[in-house]
Structure 1
Amino acid sequence: MSGDEWQNWGFDTRAIHVGQEPDEATGAITVPIHLATTFVQAAPGRHRGFEYARTSNPTRVALERCVAGLEGARHGLAFASGMAAEDALVGMMHPGDHVVLGTDAYGGTFRLIHQVYGERGIEWSAVDLADPDALAGAIRPETRQVWVETPTNPMLAVVDIAAVADIAHASGVDVVVDNTFATPYLQNPLALGADAVVHSSTKYLGGHSDVVGGFVAVNRDDLAERLAFVQNAVGAVPSPFDCYLLLRGVKTLGVRMDRHCDNAQAVAEFLAGHRAVERVLYPGLADHPGHSVAAAQMRGFGGMVSFVHAGGEPAAVAAACATRVFRLAESLGAVESLIEQPSTMTHLSVADSPLAVDPGLVRLSVGIESVDDLLADLDQALARSQ
């Protein structure tokens, strides 16, 4: 391709082609897995763009260009995990700095900020980011970042990214958006005012439960320069094979997300009418508090559904253990459907904190199986849990 021609392409075309030109040496249509750890130089300092694999690798560069293109970003940086990507961003703060979190932050994010960086003098506050007054009141002179998830994990709350960016930027505060649940197919936070977008690419970007990775996308050159320095200096980078697997997954992201969204909508509507369910949390339902915001800033409502079991914790555990198609496991965003009880699994780290999760909550990662099989599976599991 020439110049910025790819910017005029549709999402699925970009996912398949950006950063993925046929190999010049062989014509291979798939980006090769470049395993070399070092690269020959014509003279000291004279190289062809690559010196050492921790600093840069051709397979990783292809992945970074592709996902950055999907997020509409000027810069993309791949990391060894979603938490490594988050660490690169949180690590830019200094002792005495302050970060604002949502009251429904992912347990791993909370653990990183509260326990790891809390011991190093970073302070935090948790507020309802859907409440502009609460956010404005939480920002201090020491605040450096507002950390947004939307939809959130596991409560599926929706945050107005543009509104948060306006409030934060008025005080010179950066906005970081975890876009893992929505993916760049459904939502592009940079276009809505965010300063950085972070992904656990383990989830929907990879999509097949076979690779762990993380990603940060930014437009600002200063952020990109600092993140690239950390990426190289710390070395928490994905292997060439991990990058290959992620590129393979990204190619089908659009078609997978269409099915995830359709199946999740059907599951949410089924659960909303079930006697064993007290409450369903899914932005695609008209009575969801964030439905209108989600409809405005997203292209679909995603593949994640949570619900509160009417029988509380014992029934939630029983239902999670009774499914046959849904598999009881942590993680999310892959082709197979998963079920979990967050309070004792992914969100155990927020127990006894302001972010604690209702033990009666069940989280579903709705896969791309035949929807009738998913509904039948949930029906029999809920019947056995009552």
Structure 2
Amino acid sequence: MSAIGYGDSTRSVKAVSSVAVPGQAVAPLPVPASTFHLSAEESGEHDFYGRASNPTWREVEAALAQLEGAASALVFGSGMAAITAALRALAKPGSVVVVPADGYYQVRRYATEYLAPLGVTVREALSFEMVDAARDADVVLAETPANPTLDVVDLHALAAVCRGRGARLLVDNTTATPLGLQPLSLGADLVVASATKALSGHSDLLAGYVAGSQPELMAAIARERLLAGPILGVFEAWLLLRSLGSAGLRIDRQCHSAQALATMLRGHPAVRSVRYPGLEGDPAHDIACAQMRRFGGLVSFELADAAAVYALVERSDLLVASTSFGGIHTSVDRRARWGDPVSDGFARISLGIEDTDDLLADIGRALGPAA
């Protein structure tokens, strides 16, 4: 049976499985080395220095490529390191770059503060504006579902526009994960993502990656990584590799709980609005159904004000107030504090792996009576 025919938990385990060699460890081992023995031949085919390559990198990169349906992947020290490396490799002076107006705020800041002064025209577009914004762009970075609004970009339509004008399409797959969305199969040139979130899943490391199947693009990004040095530490790479094996189980529980929580929140009088692509009637639902296999572990909702969000956390026994997402603990982040263009009472919940019924009971109790 091919890996394509397996379920996601099996795919996750297979992706991190070592070759069956008698006497070899079943679990992969880290190779903590800054330098390696040189061979007599100067072929460049061997590891020689830790900023250039490492066997542990190659193992986790092979696993990420397999999960993303890519020919190869490159790991970085964080999601932002991966995204900015890809943008630096592709965005040249005089080019037009489109970035999400409703996505991760640090991407907008980087584009404005570092790309624009180099002569790159930076344009921001909301998820539903992306297709039109791409019509005169050279590089398009789409984030879907967008963080924190959870709007979904129509990747079929966006990829068609980009192909038609020769623009490069990068898709940030952090929120959906490769177990929920396969951007390369929908026409993206590259996937960029933070593995800090659901893929590593334990809130204990920073990592990012770029995945793709076009050798020239991946070579350009590998060169950028080599020269700029935004590398991933070996032990972080090993922890990520170890974590990927349980990604299918964790993400399945998170998505199941997110669907249940979104349904509950929609009917609660203290909640003014709910966004979750898996909800029927959500503005992104139809597009999400057409291109996503899972709808993700994030739910965004709006309470009356900031005080209501803080009260929710204080009354809960299970919610953790923290930023980032995708960990084993269910967390809440009030996004206006970071400058996102949302109301003071707008919050994003990242579902953990607690029992769904326990979470619903706890959050329902913390919100107050339903009627």
Partners of 1:96 and 1:123 within 8 A in 2: yes
Match of 1:294, SS? helix
Per-residue Cα deviation, 1:282-307 (whole angstroms, up to 9, x for no partner):
01110101111111211121110000
Listed one character per residue, the Cα deviations across residues 109-141 of structure 1 (whole Å, up to 9, x for unaligned) are 11111223233332222223324xx6335643x
TM-score, scaled relative to structure 1? 0.90
Find out whether 1:333 has 2:329 as its counterpart. Answer: no
CA distance in 1, matches of 2:184, 2:171: 9
1:96 pairs with 2:81: no
Distance 2:298 2:32 in 1: 36
Q: Is the 8 A contact 1:325 1:374 kept in 2?
A: yes
- Structure 2 spans left out of the alignment, 5+ residues: none
Written as runs of structure 1 = structure 2, the 5 A alignment for 1:6-155 is: 10-18=7-15, 20-22=17-19, 26-46=23-43, 49-92=46-89, 93-131=91-129, 135-136=131-132, 139-140=135-136, 143-155=137-149
1:127/1:135 contact within 8 Å kept = no
How many residues matched? 369
Pairing 1:319-358 to 2, within 5 Å after superposition: 319-344=312-337, 347-348=338-339, 350=340, 356-358=341-343
Equivalent residues in 2 for 1:1-386, closer than 5 Å: 10-18=7-15, 20-22=17-19, 26-46=23-43, 49-92=46-89, 93-131=91-129, 135-136=131-132, 139-140=135-136, 143-309=137-303, 311-344=304-337, 347-348=338-339, 350=340, 356-383=341-368
Query: Equivalent residue of 2:188, what SS?
Result: coil
Q: Is the alpha carbon distance of 1:380 and 1:244 closer, same or farther for their aligned partners in structure 2, counting shifts above 3 Å?
A: same
Contact 1:146 1:173 (C-alpha < 8 Å) held by counterparts:
yes
CA contact (8 A) 1:320 1:341 kept: no
Q: What 5-or-longer segments of structure 1 have no aligned partner? A: 351-355
Q: How far apart are the structure 2 equivalents of 1:332 and 1:275?
A: 26
- Taking the aligned partners of 1:174 and 1:340, their CA distance within structure 2 comes to 32
- Where 2:132 maps in the other structure, the secondary structure is helix
Amino acid at match of 1:61: R
Of 325-334 and 13-22, the range deviating more from structure 2: 13-22
Counterparts of 2:42 and 2:10, CA distance in 1 = 36
SS in 2 for 1:100: strand
Alignment root-mean-square deviation, CA: 2.2
Alpha-carbon contact 1:335-1:367 (below 8 Å) kept: yes
Corresponding residue SS for 2:127:
coil
Distance 1:278 1:331, change over 3 A: same
The answer as to whether partners of 2:331 and 2:350 remain within 8 angstroms in 1 is yes
Does the Cα contact within 8 Å between 1:14 and 1:66 map onto a contact in 2? no
Displacement of 1:171 in angstroms is 1.4
Question: Within 2, Cα distance between the matches of 1:321 and 1:113?
Answer: 37
What percentage of residue pairs aligned between the two structures are identical? 37
